[in-house]
Amino acid sequence: MKIRPIFEVETIDDMQYMVCLDSSVLAGMIQLNETAALIIGCLKEDTTIEKIVEKMAEVYDVSVEDALGGVEQIIEQLKSINAIEE
């Protein structure tokens, strides 16, 4: 799975936002926390939830089990706005 190419992450005043280049899919911007921005960064390449969880565990020095719930939640949110290609 990976992020659809019409979605990009932009940084404005040290804050990260996801924007959609196709306003018929999503109008506006979504403010991202650091975790969501990292997940979306991982999704720029074709990847799996397992690989993203491993990266989260490494970056934030948490267990795979602790990282899994947050990753799954953000992936589901991205799927709900049609931002992920499977």
Tell me the whole-structure pTM to 2 decimals.
0.89
Q: How many residues does the chain have?
A: 86
Handedness of CA 28, 30, 31, 37 (dihedral sign): negative
- State residue 62's pLDDT score: 93
In order, the DSSP letters of the chain are -EE-TTEEEEEETTEEEEEES-TTT--SEEEE-HHHHHHHHHTTS---HHHHHHHHHHHHT--HHHHHHHHHHHHHHHHHTT-EE-
For residue 72, name the pLDDT band (cuts at 50, 70, 90).
very high
pLDDT digits (tens, 9 = 90+) for 15-68: 999 999 999 999 989 999 999 999 999 999 999 999 999 999 999 999 999 999
